[in-house]
Each structure stands twice: as C-alpha cells, then as structure tokens.
Structure 1
Amino acid sequence: EFDEEALLALSESIRSRGLLQPIVVRPLAGGRYELIAGERRLRASRMAGLDRIPALVRVTAENERLELALMENVAREDLNPVEEARACATLVEDLGVTKEELGRRIGKSRVAVSNLIRLLGLPDGALALIETGELTEGHGRALLMCKDQHERLVLARAALASGWSVRETERRAKGDPPAASSPGSHGGGFVTIHPDLADALAAAEDALTAALGHDVRVRPSRGAYRVELELDSPAAGIELAERLFRRAAA
C-alpha cells in the first residue's frame, strides 16, 4: 500500500517538473511489458494525467527481476519495519544478496540489516503490533531479548496496554525489576528513575541506535550516564569507526 498524501505530492511534482527518474520494465511476448521497478512513480504519473512516461527496458532473468523489484520496495520511505524486514530477508536468504551489499544499496549498515531481519523471529501477534505502528522497531528488538515465543507475545501485549517505553520493555524481557526499582550504583541499593527520565533515556537510545545502526543502551552511572554500544563482531566495530570518520571528515 502507498501513502495517498505522499502519492499526491509526487503527482504534483511530476505534473510540474515531469518524471525525473524513469520506471524500469522488461519485455514480454506480444509487445507487452512488465513493470519491474517504479510502481509508485507510475501511479503518481497516472494521477498527474500523463499517458506517456520515460521507461528503461531491461531484459532480465526472473531472479534479477525479483531482486530489482525488492530493492525498489525496500528503499521506499513509507514501509513499516516488518515490511522492510521481509523484503530484506527475501533478498538475503532467497536471492543471495549479502547484508553488506544490501546495506550499501539502501543506506544502512550490515548490522542494521541484520537487526531488521531478526525482527521476523517474533511471533505473528507481536509483528502485527509493529506493522500497525502500535509498537516500534525498538520494542521489537527489546522483545527478542526474551527467548520464549509465548512470553514475547505476552510482553508485546503488555507493552501496548501499559504504554511501556523501549527501555522498560527491554527490562521486562530480560526479567529485570521494573523502572521504579532499578538497581543503583550506591551500596547495592535501589534508585528511583522518574518515568519522564526513563522515556528520555529510551528516546536517546532509539535515536542513537537508528543513527549508528547498532543497539545502544544509555544507563545512569554515578550521577552521570554511560552509553553502551553493542557490536556483534570486531569487523562491525571497524566498519562503524570508518563510517563515523567519514562523516566527521565530510
């Protein structure tokens, strides 16, 4: 499904400036063509009243056709995390595209691609809540910390019903005490974290995770805050360092 408002905006742009990026088609028997990539542009062009638009004609094998179509789909801005995860999984697991190559082509790190695909390990009920936007991708990653599928679904429903932050969902998935009684760093006692602060920390974690492409934790520590970055291999750390260096030098 396409966002109607975004589609209308694109059609207005096409009406005033023309279609800047051609659609991609492949020839079929009888002088017909099959659309490979550009369904959104095609729909918007029709809305703009165009009966002719530029197209690139490519003779492709079935696997290449599917890969092109999925690449086009996964690059869309209006996909929810579950749709994006399914497209990535098909490209990696069925068509043999490496996570590194896929990440380069859609602007994500290899680890970010891996984290997306991992979401598909959640039960269908939890995936449905992420797909509808009732829970976030961050909630999904937190639920994966629980190993039992039934418990994951129970936690997902509880997170929705109680309005848990990502941090609180993660805490429950790991079996830790709730936010109101988080272990402190002074004498083994407990400190109380205000709900607003817990939400702010969760928001910071989500923003850093999205920016870096790796799971990030922000934890209170001796009157300050400690940022913990989770890497699944030394190579991932090197890749991140190189990416940050390129950004700093830009």
Structure 2
Amino acid sequence: MAKATKKQALGRGLSALLKDPENDIQSASDKNADKVVGNIVELDLDTIEVNPFQPRSNFNDEALRELATSIRELGVIQPITVRKIDFNKYQLVSGERRFRASKLVGLATIPSYIRIANDQESLEMALVENIQRQDLDPIEIALSYQRLIDEIELTQEKLSDRVGKKRSTITNYLRLLRLDPIIQTGIRDGFVTMGHGRALVNIEKKEDQISLYERIVGDNLSVRDTEKAVKAYHEGSATKKTSPKSDQGAAFVKSGTNALTERLSVKVAIQANPKGKGKITIPFHSEEEFNRIKKLIIGE
C-alpha cells in the first residue's frame, strides 16, 4: 500500500511540474525532461486531445461501457501514452478506448506515459503500437500498413522489420484494400472473414466480387467453398474467351436452348460448334430436383 501511495504522489508531483510555465518541456534535452519523459504522470483529461493519426475508427459502444464499468471499479490499470504538443497540452498516441471510457465515468485525470515526438514520429508510434493490438479488424490493420508505407515512406521490407511480421503477411493484408468498399465493410462488420477476402481479391471486376460476396453471405459459404467458387469463376472466364458462345455454334441451338429451359424449368446451357457438335448442361441443386428433371426427360 505504501508503494502505491508513493507512486501516486510522484505522479501528482510530476503533474505540478508540467503545469509550471517555467518548466515547459519541449524536447528531451530540456531541463527536467528526464523526470517526465517515459514516466507515469497523472494528466488532466481535458488537457488531452485525440490523435488524428489513430488507425482505429470503430469503437464498440457496449465494449466501451464494459471498460468504463471496470475503470469505475478498479481505476485505469494500464496507462495511456501521449505526446506533448504545447504547454500543458497533450495528444494521444495509444489508449483511446481507456481515454474515452475514463471520460464516460467522469474521471478528472488519467495515468499517462509522456513522450516527445514530432508529427511523423507520432504517426509511426500510433500506427505501430496499434497494429500490435489484438482487437483491430483486418481492414484497420491493412490501412495502418498502407499509411506507414505512404506517409512514413517505409518499404515493405522495412515495415516487416518495424512491426515484426513477415512480408507475405503484410502483403496479404494490403491486398484486402483492392476489394470493393462494400466487401471491406463486410469484413469489418464480421459478415465475412479475412480468408474470404483473400479469395475474393483474386477477382478483378468489382461487380463480380460483389456478386460472389452476396452469395457467400446468403449461402453462408466457407472460405474453402469461396476459393472453389473463385476457381470456377476463372475457369468459366477462360472458357468464354477460348470457346464460341453457345448460341453462335449452330442455328438450332438458339431455339433449342429456350425450349429445353422452358420444358425443364431450369436454365439449360448448350455449347455447340459450327459443325453441330456440342454438349448440353442441365444444372440441379438437390436430389429432388434431379429426380424431377429425370422424370421429365425419360418419363419414369
């Protein structure tokens, strides 16, 4: 208990030091900087602003209320990290959920690690520290990787070293940003997984991505089923490019396709070459439908 009291008293003492205009610390070389930078300090919540570089954009309201309840009972166990931007003004680097939850329960102060950094360093710290979190969704992680590449000018190799991930892992996340925004939202909201997204990204046309995405959600397709569907999509595209259209192979196919489709009540596909050779494909989706079609064809 004595140790906890001493630690809190130290935090209050550093808070007073930071509020003294004669000790306005702006860099690590300033007087008393060593007493503040890297130490836990109780900061007034109203002196802290949120970080515009924060990669997280979704905050679950229920989870935030649960955290607020925990903070009300136990206090803030893990300090937030801030950077000093002006006299008695700070900006969040990490810990926005704890910051928001503390405001919800009406706390006046919050334990904080203080760092001194410029905007670029702050962006890198925020992104790298948040990427390590377990509760970021795949799209948030992908966007964070992309910002590090674009704004910090890191190569994928350097980014791999910085965040401790294989380059192939980073590449897989970045590829998700090639998905249609509707599918990205679906990943963020949990309708499909990153595995589904990795399969869908192999389809270049956005409208075809959306079509298969709707099928995944509607039919509850697994990742493996999705991979098979993507493979079938590409095989179908290759067939269209290398084979004549079914209704161009022979004149009789045009009327025959419509007649069979109407007779069997399923969309019949016919492929035929100009010489009259070809094949008929009759799809079915259940044993019952197969037996119905069989009965129509052979009369049993």
Range into which the TM-score falls when normalised by the shorter chain: 0.5 to 0.7
- Residue in structure 1 matching 2:142, options 66, 70, 85: 85
Aligned to 1:160: 217
- Residue in structure 2 matching 1:5, options 62, 80, 90: 62
The one-letter amino acid of 1:100's match is S
The one-letter amino acid of 1:128's match is T
- Residue in structure 2 matching 1:14, options 71, 80, 83: 71
- Residue in structure 1 matching 2:82, options 8, 25, 29: 25
Mapping for residues 42-191 of structure 1, pairs under 5 Å:
42-97=99-154, 98-104=158-164, 108-175=165-232
- Using the alignment, how far apart are the partners of 1:116 and 1:135 within structure 2? 15
Task: Please tell me whether the aligned partners of residues 134 and 160 of structure 1 are also in contact (alpha carbons under 8 angstroms).
Answer: yes
Deviates more, 1:10-19 or 1:32-41: 10-19
Deviates more, 1:67-76 or 1:136-145: 67-76
TM score, norm. by length of structure 1: 0.60
The one-letter amino acid of 2:92's match is L
Task: Please tell me whether the aligned partners of residues 81 and 130 of structure 1 are also in contact (alpha carbons under 8 angstroms).
Answer: yes
Q: Deviations over 1:80-122 (max 9, x none)?
A: 2212211122123432453323442xxx544322211111111
The one-letter amino acid of 2:212's match is L
Deviation at 1:49, TM superposition (A): 3.5
TM score, norm. by length of structure 2: 0.51
Task: Please tell me whether the aligned partners of residues 38 and 72 of structure 1 are also in contact (alpha carbons under 8 angstroms).
Answer: no
Deviation at 1:174, TM superposition (A): 1.6
Task: Please tell me whether the aligned partners of residues 22 and 53 of structure 1 are also in contact (alpha carbons under 8 angstroms).
Answer: yes
- Using the alignment, how far apart are the partners of 1:5 and 1:109 within structure 2? 34
SS in 2 for 1:49: coil
- Kindly tell me the number of residue pairs found equivalent between the two proteins: 175
> What is the aligned-residue RMSD (CA, Å)?
2.6
- Using the alignment, how far apart are the partners of 1:129 and 1:17 within structure 2? 36
- Using the alignment, how far apart are the partners of 1:138 and 1:89 within structure 2? 19
- Using the alignment, how far apart are the partners of 1:22 and 1:52 within structure 2? 11
Aligned to 1:37: 94
Deviation at 1:139, TM superposition (A): 0.7
SS in 1 for 2:109: coil
SS in 2 for 1:28: strand
Task: Please tell me whether the aligned partners of residues 81 and 116 of structure 1 are also in contact (alpha carbons under 8 angstroms).
Answer: yes
Deviation at 1:66, TM superposition (A): 1.1
User: How many percent of aligned residue pairs carry the same amino acid?
Assistant: 37
Task: Please tell me whether the aligned partners of residues 19 and 54 of structure 1 are also in contact (alpha carbons under 8 angstroms).
Answer: yes
Q: Deviations over 1:193-236 (max 9, x none)?
A: xxxxxxxxxxxxxxxxxxxxxxxxxxxxxxxxxxxxxxxxxxxx
- Using the alignment, how far apart are the partners of 1:102 and 1:168 within structure 2? 35
Task: Please tell me whether the aligned partners of residues 11 and 45 of structure 1 are also in contact (alpha carbons under 8 angstroms).
Answer: yes
Deviation at 1:140, TM superposition (A): 0.4
Task: Please tell me whether the aligned partners of residues 2 and 78 of structure 1 are also in contact (alpha carbons under 8 angstroms).
Answer: no
Aligned to 1:205: none
Aligned to 1:219: none
List alignment gaps of at least 5 residues for structure 1: 178-250
Task: Please tell me whether the aligned partners of residues 81 and 131 of structure 1 are also in contact (alpha carbons under 8 angstroms).
Answer: yes
Task: Please tell me whether the aligned partners of residues 126 and 157 of structure 1 are also in contact (alpha carbons under 8 angstroms).
Answer: no
Deviation at 1:30, TM superposition (A): 4.7
